[in-house]
C-alpha cells in the first residue's frame, strides 16, 4: 500500500495543496477580498447588512442573466437555436434565485428598516441599470428611464445602445419569418427604442407553430422558454411588490417613485404578449 493510500485510509488528505505563497488560491480567483469588503454599512443597525447583501447578490445574479440573454440573442440572430434553450433555461433558474431572495428580505420588519432608511438618501432599486438592461433585452423599452443615469456616461451609453438594439423577442420574431411564416414588415423593422406592441401577424405565426409542433419543434421550444422567463420575471415583480408593501406600506420610494403603486402598475405589462393571447385561441 502506498503512502497516499495509507493517508486516505487514515483520513489524512496529504495531497491537498497547502502553500499558496506562489500559487493562485480560491480567494484569489474569486477576488473575495474585494467582494467581501464591499458591504459598508452607513448606520450601526444590525439589519442594514442584510439589506446590502440582498441587493449586491441580486446584482450579481442579474449580471449572469445579462450574460446569458445577450449570448442567446446572438445565437438566435445566427439562426442557431440549440444553445439558446440551455441559456434560457439557466436564466429561468437564476430568476428563481432572485424570487426567493425576497423571502429573505421580508424578514426585515418596518420598524427595523425605518432605523436606517434615511441613510440611503435618494438611492433606490429603480436606479439598477442592470435590471433596466434586462428589461430592454426582453423588449420592455422606456427611453425616459435613461435620464437617471446621465451622471454616469459609460452606463448611460450602454443603456442607450441597448435601448436602440432589437431584443430577445425581436430576434425570435425574425426566426419566425426566417422559417417562412408570414410576418408583418412593421414587426420586423420597428422603432427598437419603443416598447413592443402586439401584432396580429406575430400571433398568427406563433399559433401556426403551436398547431404543428412536429414541424416547428425548435420554434415551439423557443416559445416555451420565453414563456418560462416571462413567468418568472412576473413572479419576481410580484414578490418585489409584496415585500415592499410589507416593509414600507404605501410610502414613497427612496428614489422618489410612488413605491408600491409603481410596482403594481408594471405587473400589467407583458413582455411577449402573443405567447399568452394565443393560448385562448388554440
First-to-last C-alpha distance (Å) of the chain:
69
Q: Where are the beta strands (DSSP E) in the chain?
A: none
Binding residues for substrate, by number, are 51-55, 113, 117, 254
CA separation for the pair 29, 25 (Å, rounded): 6
Binding residues for heme, by number, are 240
Q: How far is CA 277 from CA 59, 199, 203, 245, 282, in A?
A: 32, 11, 8, 30, 9
How far is CA 21 from its chain centroid? 38
Binding residues, by number, are 51-55, 113, 117, 240, 254
Burial of 141 (0-12, 13-18, 19+ CB in 10 A): buried
For the record, the C-alpha cell of 34 comes out as 474585494
Which residue is associated with the grid cell 440573454? 69
Amino acid at each position: 500500500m502506498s503512502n497516499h493510500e495509507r493517508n486516505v485510509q487514515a483520513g489524512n488528505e496529504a495531497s491537498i495543496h497547502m502553500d499558496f505563497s506562489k500559487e493562485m488560491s480560491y480567494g484569489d480567483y474569486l477576488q473575495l477580498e474585494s467582494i467581501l469588503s464591499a458591504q459598508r454599512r452607513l448606520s450601526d443597525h444590525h439589519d442594514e447588512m442584510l439589506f446590502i447583501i440582498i441587493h449586491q447578490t441580486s446584482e450579481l445574479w442579474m449580471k449572469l442573466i445579462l450574460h446569458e440573454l445577450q449570448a442567446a440573442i446572438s445565437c438566435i440572430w445566427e439562426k442557431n437555436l440549440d444553445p439558446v434553450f440551455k441559456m434560457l433555461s439557466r436564466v429561468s433558474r437564476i430568476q428563481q434565485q432572485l424570487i426567493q431572495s425576497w423571502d429573505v428580505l421580508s424578514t426585515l420588519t418596518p420598524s427595523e428598516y425605518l432605523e436606517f432608511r434615511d441613510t440611503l438618501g435618494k438611492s433606490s432599486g429603480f436606479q439598477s441599470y442592470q435590471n433596466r438592461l434586462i428589461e430592454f433585452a426582453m423588449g420592455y423599452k422606456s427611453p425616459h428611464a435613461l435620464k437617471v443615469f446621465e451622471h454616469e456616461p459609460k452606463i448611460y451609453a450602454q443603456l442607450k445602445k441597448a435601448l436602440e438594439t432589437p431584443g430577445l423577442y425581436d430576434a425570435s420574431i425574425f426566426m419566425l419569418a426566417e422559417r417562412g411564416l408570414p410576418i408583418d414588415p412593421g414587426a420586423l423593422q420597428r422603432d427598437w427604442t419603443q416598447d413592443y406592441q402586439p401584432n396580429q401577424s406575430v400571433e398568427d405565426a406563433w399559433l401556426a407553430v403551436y398547431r404543428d409542433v412536429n414541424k416547428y419543434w425548435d420554434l415551439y421550444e423557443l416559445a416555451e422558454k420565453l414563456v418560462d422567463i416571462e413567468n418568472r420575471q412576473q413572479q419576481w415583480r410580484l414578490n418585489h411588490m409584496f415585500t415592499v408593501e410589507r416593509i414600507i406600506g404605501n410610502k414613497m420610494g427612496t428614489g422618489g417613485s410612488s413605491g408600491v403603486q409603481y410596482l403594481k402598475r408594471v405587473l400589467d405589462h407583458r413582455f411577449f404578449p402573443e405567447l399568452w393571447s394565443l393560448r385562448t385561441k388554440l
